[in-house]
């Protein structure tokens, strides 16, 4: 069984997440940092502790007590340059050597593999702060701003930040917040998120119908299913791929408004509002409620969306080789093609997708859309997703999904279909064109503006507690 007291909490269970600080830091003084880390490790929240927190929250609710119980969680992860600075040999974390995404770092990967736009000097067109080397990230999450502010002061005190004895320097601190009210689990475009994450063997107790559970080594280094040999200290960790993704929400809404579908796939006339909603659902592959369009293609079904036994139970098999129910390029079909790859006769060569699964743990940042933005259709305030996902191999997970699936107009591959699927309409980088948005004219290609723009990121490794305590701290 997995040692849940050895694994950082965000990886398997997700830290409590109403509000989160992402603190990107540089190590200023290696000896001091390693000494300070001895005091920091005890406040790192493990999976076991997150599960205990959840029980406490459930108990609090059961007893009908008011408000939220104060609850914070702290995690830490390091980049390759961070390990270099610390003088720690991380070679078992980079099995691909000089091509390993962890080793080259996301700044270079963004330009060579991910397709991010570049500036004239060849750097990715990112926020300046992310063009520096970032040695690590500290995540602080909790139920209120007051709790995480307090925890941040505690963390800063441990590393003597703002004093001459400082062992780290904060390069950037970004606060993420779930959205208010009934939008709390929805991302900024309005779609329910966090429905489909891999169910992990040896960890999850209840398995809901959906993609088959994965070996723990798909997410955790050194566990069953991770093909790489890892040094002892590097076992039970996970790679954290972070992306600073801005979303142009008013522009997305205007696009849907300007291009409503006239009819659904049954030939039924739609009102402009219904036509725009269906178009939006077909870019994502789910309705805003979360209901998958592969199951309920032309009409939202909020009860289905809310039912964990049904809301992930689909595999694009309703109409093999067809975009009638769900476009090939729809975001959830691109990023988890399910039977498109796994089950003949649809795929040319069946390929298991287990090793492509990622554990998504992002949080929204930025304010709600204002009235002026709604009226003008133009973004005036930065907002989006602090995208974060865990996996045991970046080249199998995040990097592969972005480069080989989202950015590829011929994926998923079908022999019998004349049209290319096109890029992922939300995250695909390149010429964002996509077929299949109109269910009655699958070959029609629509061009889409860039609604999601990467402005930074890095690859980190989130070590086990033992790794932190025995190898990294001193």
Of the candidate residues 187, 223, 253, 395, the single one contacting ligand N7H (CB under 6 A): 187
Please tell me whether residue 364 binds ligand N7H under the rule CB under 6 A.
no
Binding to ligand N7H by residue 398, rule CB under 6 A?
A: yes
Choose which of 243, 310, 393, 432 interacts with ligand N7H (CB under 6 A).
243
Using the minimum distance from each CB to ligand N7H, give the nearer residue, 187 or 236: 187
Rounded to whole angstroms, the Cα distance separating 83 from 89 reads: 7
Among 36, 53, 143, 193, binds ligand N7H (CB under 6 A): 193
Q: In this chain, which of 158, 304, 385, 446 binds ligand N7H, going by CB under 6 A?
A: 385
Name which of 222 and 457 has its Cβ closer to ligand N7H.
457
Residues assigned a catalytic role: 193
The C-alpha angle with vertex 128 and arms to 178 and 149, in degrees rounded to 5, equals 40
Q: Is the peptide bond before 412 cis (omega within 30 degrees of 0)?
A: yes
Query: Residue 427 interacts with ligand N7H (CB under 6 A)?
Result: yes
Return the residue of 245, 261, 279, 388 that touches ligand N7H, per CB under 6 A.
Answer: 245
35: its two tokens: 């000494």
Q: Does the footprint of ligand N7H cover residue 341 (CB under 6 A)?
A: no
Q: Is residue 452 part of the contact set for ligand N7H (CB under 6 A)?
A: yes
> How deeply is 14 buried, as exposed, middle or buried, from its count of CB atoms within 10 A (0-12, 13-18, 19+)?
buried
Among 7, 37, 93, 195, binds ligand N7H (CB under 6 A): 195
- Closest listed residue to residue 457, CA positions, set 416, 391, 399, 393: 399
Interacting residues with ligand N7H between 296 and 335 (CB under 6 A): 331-332, 335
Alpha-carbon separation of residue 63 from 60, 67, 189, 332, 378 (angstroms)? 5, 12, 35, 38, 46
Q: How far is the CB of 275 from ligand N7H (least distance, A)?
A: 19
Instruction: Count Cβ atoms below 10 Å from residue 121 Cβ, excluding itself.
Output: 6
137 binds ligand N7H (CB under 6 A): no
Beta strands in 46-119 (DSSP E): 72-78
Closer residue to ligand N7H in complex, CB, 107/331: 331
**In sequence order, which residues have a C-beta less than 8 Å from that of residue 16 and are 6 or more positions away?**
50, 53, 57, 71, 72, 73, 141, 142, 143
Q: Does 434 bind ligand N7H (CB under 6 A)?
A: no
Minimum distance from residue 225 beta carbon to ligand N7H (Å): 18
Does the footprint of ligand N7H cover residue 426 (CB under 6 A)? yes
**Which residue, 21 or 387, has its beta carbon nearer to ligand N7H?**
387
Q: Which residues pair with 241 in a beta bridge?
A: 389, 459
Count, residues near ligand N7H per rule CB under 6 A: 28
Neighbour count for residue 344 (Cβ, 10 Å) = 10
Query: Which one among 281, 284, 346, 423 touches ligand N7H, defined by CB under 6 A?
Result: 284
Of 256-264, 382-390, 429-437, 461-469, the window that binds ligand N7H (rule: CB under 6 A) is: 382-390
Interface residue with ligand N7H among 384, 421, 456, 463 (CB under 6 A) is 384
Nearest to 356 by CA among 328, 388, 394: 394
- Residue (of 322, 329, 347) closest to 441 by Cα position: 322
Cβ contact 16:55 at 8 Å: no
DSSP secondary structure, 161-176, as one string = TTSTT-SEEEEEEEEE
Q: How many CB atoms lie within 10 A of CB 321?
A: 13
C-beta of 402: minimal distance to ligand N7H in Å?
4
Q: Among the candidate windows 75-83, 162-170, 218-226, 398-406, which touches ligand N7H by CB under 6 A?
A: 398-406
- Could you say which of 113, 336, 391, 471 contacts ligand N7H (CB under 6 A)? 336
Q: Which residue has the tokens 């298991």?
A: 352
Q: Which is nearer to ligand N7H, 7 or 284 (CB)?
A: 284
For ligand N7H, which residue of 40, 191, 316, 459 counts as binding (CB under 6 A)? Answer: 191
Q: Binding segment for ligand N7H among 155-163, 225-233, 395-403, 463-471 (CB under 6 A)?
A: 395-403
Helical residues (DSSP H) of 168-248, grouped into ranges: none
CB of 206 closer than 8 Å to CB of 200? no
Residue 106 found at the interface with ligand N7H (CB under 6 A): no
Q: Which of 129, 40, 120, 136 is nearest to 88 (CA)?
A: 136
Residues in contact with ligand N7H by the rule CB under 6 A: 187, 189, 191, 193-196, 243, 245, 247, 284, 286, 331-332, 335-336, 358, 360, 384-385, 387, 398, 401-402, 406, 426-427, 452
């Amino acid at each position: 069984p997995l040692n849940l007291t050895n694994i950082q909490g965000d990886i398997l269970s997700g830290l409590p997440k109403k509000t989160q600080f992402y603190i990107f830091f540089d190590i200023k003084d290696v000896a001091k940092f390693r000494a300070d880390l001895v005091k920091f490790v005890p406040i790192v929240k493990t999976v076991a502790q997150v599960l205990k927190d959840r029980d406490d929250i459930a108990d609090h609710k059961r007893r009908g007590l008011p408000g939220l119980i104060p609850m914070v969680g702290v995690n830490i992860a390091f980049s390759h340059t961070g390990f270099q600075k610390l003088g720690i040999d991380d070679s078992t974390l980079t099995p691909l050597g000089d091509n390993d995404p962890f080793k080259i770092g996301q700044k270079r990967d963004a330009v060579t593999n991910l397709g991010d736009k570049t500036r004239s000097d060849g750097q990715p067109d990112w926020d300046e702060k992310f063009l520096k080397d970032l040695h690590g990230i500290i995540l602080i999450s909790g139920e209120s701003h007051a709790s995480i502010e307090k925890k941040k002061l505690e963390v800063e005190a441990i590393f003597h930040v703002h004093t001459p004895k400082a062992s780290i320097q904060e390069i950037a601190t970004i606060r993420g917040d779930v959205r208010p009210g009934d939008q709390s689990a929805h991302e900024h475009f309005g779609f329910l998120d966090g429905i489909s994450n891999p169910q992990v063997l040896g960890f999850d107790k209840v398995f809901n119908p959906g993609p088959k559970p994965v070996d723990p080594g798909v997410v955790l280094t050194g566990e069953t299913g991770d093909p790489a040999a890892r040094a002892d200290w590097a076992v039970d960790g996970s790679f954290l791929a972070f992306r600073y993704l801005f979303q142009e929400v008013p522009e997305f809404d205007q696009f849907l408004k300007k291009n409503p579908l006239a009819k659904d796939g049954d030939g039924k006339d739609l009102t402009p509002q219904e036509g725009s909603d269906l178009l939006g659902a077909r870019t994502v592959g789910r309705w805003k409620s979360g209901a998958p369009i592969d199951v309920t293609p032309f009409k939202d079904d909020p009860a289905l969306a809310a039912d964990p036994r049904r809301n992930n139970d689909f595999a694009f098999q309703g109409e093999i080789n067809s975009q009638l129910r769900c476009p090939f390029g729809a975001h959830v079909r691109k990023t988890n093609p399910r039977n498109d790859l796994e089950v003949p006769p649809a795929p040319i060569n069946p390929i298991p997708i287990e090793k492509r699964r990622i554990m998504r743990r992002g949080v929204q940042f930025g304010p709600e859309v204002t009235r002026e933005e709604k009226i003008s259709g133009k973004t005036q305030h930065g907002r989006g997703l602090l995208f974060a996902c865990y996996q045991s191999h970046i080249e199998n997970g995040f990097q592969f999904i972005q480069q080989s699936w989202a950015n590829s107009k011929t994926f998923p591959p079908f022999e019998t279909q004349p049209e290319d699927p096109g890029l992922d309409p939300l995250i695909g980088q390149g010429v964002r064109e996509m077929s299949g948005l109109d269910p009655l004219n699958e070959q029609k290609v629509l061009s889409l503006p860039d609604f999601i723009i990467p402005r930074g990121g890095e690859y980190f490794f989130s070590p086990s507690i033992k790794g932190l305590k025995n190898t990294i701290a001193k």
